[in-house]
Structure 1
Amino acid sequence: MAFNVQTFKTRALTSLVFVAVMLCGLLINHWTFFILFSIVHFGCWKEFKAIADKIAPEYKSISFMHHYGVVLAGWGFMLWMTNYAYAIGPLQLSEIGWYLMLLTVITLPLIEILLSHNFNLKPLFISIGGLLYISFSCGCMIDLRSEGMIFGSFFGLDMGLVLPLVLIITLWINDTMAYLVGSAVGKTPLTAISPKKTWEGTIGGIVLAVVTITAFGHLFFNADILQLAIISTLICVTGIFGDLFESGLKRKAGIKDSGNILPGHGGFLDRFDSLLFATVFVWLYVKLFL
C-alpha cells in the first residue's frame, strides 16, 4: 500500500478534530460520556439501517414503529446499564431504560406481525443483529464507565475512565501504526475482504500498540504488566475482527464508506467498527476474570 500524502493529511486533520470531540465527551463528566456514546449509538444505527437496506431490500419495508422502535430498544439497554450517578431528580436512568426495553421488546414483534402485509422474519433477525452489534456494545461501554466510578479516583483520574480510555487509545495507536507500517513495508494482503490491509501493517500495529500501552500504564500508573498486555492485545485483535466485519458488510452492500461524516475516515461505523467489537470482549474479560 503506497503512502499517499494527501490522504494522510486529510485523515490526520479529521483525526485531530475527532480526538478533540471525543476527549470532551470522555473527560468532562459521566453525563457527557453518556451523551457521546448515545450519539455514537444513533449514528451507527442510521448507517447500519442504510447498509441493511442495500443487502436485504425487504428491510426497507419495515414499519415506522419497527424502524425507530428497535433503535429506542437499544438505547433503553444503554440507559439500563447506567448506575446510581445517572439520575434526574429521584428518577434513575436505569429504571427508564428497563421500562423502555420492556415496552419495545414486547410491542415490536407484535407490530411486525400485525402491520406487515407479508410477514417476514428476516427483517426482525436483522434488527436483532443490529442490537447485538451496536446497542449491546454501547451498553457494555456505559457499564465499564459506570462500574469503574465505584472505585473513585486515582491521582485525579476518574477510575471509571480507565478502561474506556485504554480501549480507545489502544485502538487509535493500533490503527495509526498499522497504517504507517503498512504504508512503509506492507506487501502481503491480510484478506480479500479488506485488500489494503497487510499482514506487516497489522502485526506492526498490534506490537507497537501493546508495547506502548503496557509500558505507559506500568511506568506512570504502576499498573500490572500482564493485565495490561492481555487487555491491549485483546483490544487490538478483536478490533481487527470488528474492522473486517464492517468491511464485509460494506462489500455486500456495494459501498466504500458507511457514511461521510468524517472526511478521510467515512462514517460512524467506519470509525467505531473496531471499538464495537473490542468493547464487548473487554467487558466479558473484566466480568469473567477481573
Structure 2
Amino acid sequence: MTSLETRLRLRRDRGRKLLMPYLTGGVTPDWTDHLRALADAGADAIEVGIPFSDPTLDGVTIQEASDVALCRGATTAGILADLSRSRIDVPVVVSTYANLALRRGADRFCRALADAGVQGLIVPDLPLEEAGSTGAAARAANVDLALLASPATPARRLRDIAERSRGFVYAVSLMGTTGERNQLAASAAGLARRLRGVTDRPVFLGFGISTPAQAAAAARDADGVIVGAALMRRLLDGADPASTAGFVRSLRAALDGVPARTAADAGG
C-alpha cells in the first residue's frame, strides 16, 4: 500500500473524518504560503490544481482561479518546482486534465510529480477504459491515481472504479460542475454509501461542499470531504493565508463532531 493510502487509512481507522482542501497552484504570488497554512489548519491532504485553459468539470470559481493563475504565468513545471521547495507535513494530490497530464507521456509526468513530493493524482476527464497506462505509470512512480465516480455510475462500473483507484476514491456528489451551493446534493449520501459498500478504500465526497455544516453532513456517509470552490472564492476575494486557514479550521471542527466509520460499516 502506498504512503498516501496508508496515511489516509490510518487516520480514518483511528476515528478521524478526512479533509482535503483544494488550492489552485500559482493563483497568487504567495500561494505556497496558503498551502502551508492549510496543512497547519488540519488538512489530511491537499489537492493542488494545475490550471488548464479549458477546465470542463470546473465551475466559475475554479475557472476564474485557473485564469488568474495562467495570466500570472503559471505552468506545470513552475508549480511542481514550487511544491518541491515547499514540502509540507501532509500529502499533496495534484489534479489536472488529461491534456496536460499525458501530452508528454504519463511516465514522464508521474515521475515529475514524484520528484516534487506529490503522492496522488486526479485526472477528472480520464475515463476508466483509458486509465490503464496512466495508472501503471503512476504506480511505477509511487503516485496514487484516484478515479472518480458519479451518482449515475452503474453498480458494475462503480466496483471497477473502486478496485482500480489508488489512495482513495473521489465521489462526485452531483451531476454537474464544481462550485458553491446552498445545500448538499441529495445524491451525495447515496453515492457515498454505494461506494463504501464495495470498497474499504477511503471515499471522499466533493463538488458543491461549501460550508462546515455541509461538510459535516457529507462526512456522515463518506470518509472525508474535498472543499474547493468555497475556499478559492475567499482567496480570490483577497483572503490572506491566515484567513483561508481559519475557514479550513472551521471545516475541521465540523468534521471532528461527526461519528467515525465503524468496522461494521466497512464493505469490500
Normalising to structure 1: TM-score of the pair?
0.26
Higher-Rg member (1/2) = 1
Question: Greater RCO between the two (CA within 8 Å, min separation 6)?
Answer: 2
Normalising to structure 2: TM-score of the pair?
0.27
The structure whose residues are more often strand, as a share, is 2
